[in-house]
Structure formats: C-alpha cells, structure tokens
Amino acid sequence: VISLCMLMAFYLHSNSGTASTSSGAGTGAVNNNGSMTKKNSQSIRGSNGSDGSGSGGSVGTKIIPDTNAHVNKSAQVNPGGSATKDIPSKGENLPKSITLKTTEGDIVINLRPDLSLPSVQYIQRLLDDPSPCTNCRFYRAEKPGILQGILVKKNVKPNKILGECPEEMKGKKHDCPPHDPNCGCHGPIMKKGMIAWAAGKGGPDFFIDSYERPAKWWNTDHTVFGEVADDESMGVVMSMYQLPATKKSLTMLDVPVHFEISSP
C-alpha cells in the first residue's frame, strides 16, 4: 500500500511540472524543434504579410512629402521677357533721348548709340547748335509702315557714317535692292518703332518703321539710331498716316509736318 501511494504521488508531481512549462501568457512561440523563441515586437509585418498580431491586416505606411518637389529652381527673368543692358556712352555726355515737337503732338525717341554712335553724336551736334531746325519736317507717309522726314540744320554737317553689322547678323547672306546695289549689313532687322536713316545712307533723311511685323524685306541695310519711346508717341506717328497726302510713285504729305528737336 505504501509503495502504491508513493507511486501515485510521483505521477501527480510530474504532470504539474509539464503544464507549467507548456502554458504561459503568449509571450513566446514554439519552433518546430520544440524550443522557445521570443517574438520581435518591433516587426511591422509577419512573414505571411500580416501584422505582428496575426490578424492578417496590412499596416499602412506614412509617406513624408518632399518639400522641394515642386520648387522652381530656374533663374528669375525680367518681367518684360527680355534681359536689360546699359547702353555705353563711350565716355561722352550723349543725350539718352530727344523729343520731336510737331503740330500733331510730341514724339519721344530713345537713342541707340550702341547701334550707331556717330548718328547719336550727330544729333548731339544738332542739339548744341542754337539755330532753329527750319528744315526739319515729315514729308512722306506710306501706309501702313513708313513715316519719313529729314533731320538737318544748315550749320551742322550731316552724318555720313553707316552703322556696323550686329554680331548675330555677320556672315549671313545679304541681297541688295536695285536702288542700292552696293548695300551692306549696317543694323538689325527693323521692328515697329525703330528709327533709321533712309535709303541705306547715313542721313539726314530718316524714317520711322510702323509695320506690325519685323521688316525682314529690308534685311539689315539701314543704320538704326533710335526707337519710339512710348505708346503715346507711337500714336502721334500713326495719326500722321491720316493726313491728306498724294500718291504718285511715293505717297507725299500735301502739307509737310514741321518739328523742332529738344532733349530733356
């Protein structure tokens, strides 16, 4: 009897140890070999694509936006679309602009010594001469694009020096018109508002380009020395095309429009 009781006590003690070892609070997992391994609580996903809780739901990933993704890193440009530059004076006190005072209104012209310094020097001599500009006048108005006049004083020798060919136009083919078979490159392709000496010469007759599109048909024949400064001045230019005129080979104003020149 005593031996039987001792055997039963040993049996009960062995089962209690096994239960305490195989139970637990779910803090571990059993490998195939029966050894215990600790779960990695920092894992985002389980090996089966589920989260660490075993629920099988995907865990979303927070995306941090790149704050530079839409930053414009290009250089700023002038609001007008074009780059600005200083016009060199070559050390001389040259006028930056002149005003042609007519009975139809004032025409302000910005001078371009960078395109033709001798032309601007000639205009400076006209301004320095105290005599009135008796012969200064507009006499031709070809719609829609040529208002022609003369800028001269009897005491001032007219300019005869032509402009230089712009760098971007050098080496390009240049066809000369019949009236000027020995023409050359003396300025840029003219645009609306540009002012140049007429007939491919150096003055004193000049014209204002009023065409809406670049005058490629003139090529680079003309010496440009200025530009109409503002819309108001251009309005005065355009109003002269409405004046009485007679067309023969050229369209000449019936009454030429006299002007005086001044500088601010």
Tell me how far CA of residue 257 lies from CA of 91, 104, 160, 199, in angstroms. Answer: 35, 8, 25, 21
Per-residue pLDDT of the chain (264 residues; tens, 9 = 90+): 445 445 454 444 444 444 333 333 333 333 333 333 333 333 223 333 333 333 333 333 332 232 222 222 222 222 233 333 333 434 468 999 999 999 999 999 999 999 999 999 999 999 999 999 999 999 999 999 999 999 999 999 999 999 988 888 888 877 787 777 778 889 999 999 999 999 889 999 999 999 999 999 898 999 999 999 999 999 999 999 999 999 999 999 999 999 999 998
2 vs 11: CA distance, rounded Å: 15
Compute the radius of gyration of the chain from its Cα atoms. Answer: 46
Beta partners for residue 247, in sequence order:
251
Tell me how far CA of residue 187 lies from CA of 98, 112, 143, 190, in angstroms. Answer: 21, 11, 23, 8
Rounded to two decimals, the pTM is: 0.64
91 vs 36: CA distance, rounded Å: 94
Classify 73 as helix, strand or coil: coil
